[in-house]
Amino acid sequence: MARTVVIGQGYVGLPLAVRAVDVGHDVVGYDTDKRRVESLRRAESFIDDVSGAQLARMLASGRYHPTSDAADLAGFELAVVSVPTPLRDGAPDLSHVEAAAVELGGHLRPGCCVVLESTTYPGTTEDLFIPSLEAGTALRAGRDFHVGYSPERIDPGNPRWSLQNTPKIVAGVDERSLDRVTRFYEQLVDRVVPVRAIREAELAKLLENTFRHVNIALVNELAMYCHGLGIDVWAVLDAAATKPFGFMKFTPGPGVGGHCLPIDPSYLQWQVRRAVGSNFRFIDIANDVNEHMPDYVVTRVAERLNRGYRSVNGSSILLIGLAYKPNSGDARESPALEVAHRLADQGALLAAVDPLIDPQQVPSFVHLVPLTPEHLGRADLVLVLTDHDALDWPLLERWADRVLDTRNRLGSAAERL
C-alpha cells in the first residue's frame, strides 16, 4: 500500500490517519506539536472520535508512525495537509498551510499527490499552496505531480456521521489530479463527490458552515424576541418542523463554537471585502447575533437571580457543560467558556460539571466538580450550557426549580432560553 503522510494530527488529521491505516496504508502522522506526538506514541488520544485502543492497534500494526521530524516525510506517495487556519485580526492566517507546503516541497517526487484539506477561502490552493509546494523545485503541479483539494467535514462527537459515511467533496488542479485524489478517497469513504474546479470546492465548504451560522443566528434572535413576547420558542420550532418541505430545524443556544462556525464565514467575508469592496451582510448580522448570545445568557441569569432577590455578584452558579457542543470534549471557541468569563467578571462563584473536557482547558476561576445532589444543593442557580448525554439528567430534573436551561434538555420542567 501507499506511503501516506498526514500533516496535522488533530480533530481532522488523526481520524483520517486512522482510516488510512484501517484500509492498509502505511501512514506517517506528522505534527509539529512534540507533546501531541509523544501522546500518540503512547496510544493516548486527545480527541473524542479516536480511542486509545484504536491508536494502540494502529501502532501495533507497524503501519502508523507519529512524528515531529520533517525528515520522515521523505518518500511519500500521497500527502494530506490538515493544519489549522485561524483568524488573526479578522484575516485568515495561512502560515501553517504555507509551512506544510514548504516542508512537503522538499520531498516532492514525480507522480506523487498532495491534497489540502484545511478550510480556507477560494483561491488558496492555486494561488498560495501550489506556489509554496513548487518553490525550490523544478517539478510543477499538474505536469509532474498531482494536487487536489478536499474540504474536511469532521463533526466531533457525532455518533451518526463519521469520516467514512460522510460524502467527501474532491477537486483537482487538472483531470489527472482529480482522478488521483478521487481514487484515494474512494478507499476511505463511502461516497466521493467530484467537483469541477478547486475554487468551487473551497467555497462549498464555506457555504456549508455559513448556512449553519446564519440559521443558528436566526433562531437565536427569535429566542430573544419570543422571551420578550412571552412565547415558547421551543414550541414554535417544534410546530414549524412538522412541515415536510422548505424548512430545516435549527435550535437556539448560548452561542456558537468549535473551529468552524465562529471562523469559517469570516474567511468568506474577508475575501468578499477584498475582492468586491463590500460586506456579505448575512454574515455580519449572523456574527453580531451569535457573538452576543453569551451576553444574553448572562442577562437571563441575572433576571432569574433577581427574582430570588439575589445578584450575580456573590451567587454560586453551577455550569453544566463547558465544551462547545454535546458529547465532545472540544472547547475551541466554546460559548460556554465565554459565559463563564462574563459571569466571573460580575462576581459569580463558579463550579462546573463536564466529564469530557480536558481540565487544562478549564479557566482557573471555575472549579470542576462531579454532578451530585450536594453540588446541586449548594448552587443558587444551575445553568445548562452543553447537554452531554453522559450526564445524569433525571437528577438534574429533580432540581429543575433552580435551573436555567439554554439547550432545552429538561423541556418545560426548567426555565428555558
CATH class in words for 292-416: alpha beta
State the average pLDDT for the chain.
95
Query: For residue 289, with 0-12 CB atoms within 10 Å meaning exposed, 13-18 middle and 19 or more buried, which class applies?
Result: buried
Partner residues linked to 366 by β-bridges: 350
Residue 146: pLDDT over 90? yes
Looking up cell 464555506 gives 206
Tell me, what's the pLDDT at 177?
A: 98
**Phi and psi at residue 194, in whole multiples of 5°?**
-70, 140
Q: Which amino acid is at 42?
A: R
Nearest to 41 by CA among 20, 17, 60, 13: 60
> Would you state the cell numbers that stand for residue 167, as one nine-digit string?
460524502
pLDDT at 164: 96
Q: What is the C-alpha to C-alpha distance for residues 111 and 177, in angstroms, rounded to an integer?
A: 10
User: Domain residue spans in the chain?
Assistant: 3-196, 292-416
3-state secondary structure (DSSP) of residue 240: helix
46-55, 290-299, 383-392: the lowest-pLDDT one: 46-55
Residues 6 or more apart in contact with residue 278 via CB below 8 angstroms: 272
Confidence of residue 1 (pLDDT cuts 50, 70, 90): low
DSSP 8-class letter at 141: B
- The DSSP-derived string for 65-101 is EEE--GGGGTT-SEEEE-----EETTEE--HHHHHHH
Say if residue 209's pLDDT is above 90. Answer: yes
d(CA 286, CA 221): 9
Catalytic residues: 260
| 259: pLDDT strictly greater than 80 | no
Q: Compute how many other C-beta atoms are within 10 angstroms of the C-beta atom of residue 288.
A: 11
pTM of the complete model: 0.92
Question: What residues are paired with 146 via a beta bridge?
Answer: 113
Phi, psi of 79 (to 5 degrees): -130, 140
List C-alpha distances in Å: 371 to 3, 23, 304, 392. 47, 41, 22, 7
Per-residue pLDDT tens over the stretch 88-141: 887 889 999 999 999 999 999 999 999 999 999 999 999 999 999 999 799 999
What's the CATH fold of domain 3-196? Rossmann fold (3.40.50)
Model pLDDT for residues 290-345, shown as the tens digit of each residue: 999 999 999 999 999 999 999 999 999 999 999 999 999 989 899 999 999 999 99
Same fold, 3-196 and 292-416: yes
**pLDDT classification of 235: cutoffs 50, 70, 90:** very high
Closest CA to 313 of 335, 342, 336: 342
CA distance 120 to 94: 8
Burial status of residue 396 (CB atoms within 10 A of its CB: 0-12, 13-18, 19 or more): buried
Residue 390: per-residue pLDDT: 95
Mean pLDDT in residue range 400-414 = 95
What tens digit of pLDDT does each residue of 34-43 get?
999 999 999 9
**pLDDT exceeds 80 at position 3:** yes
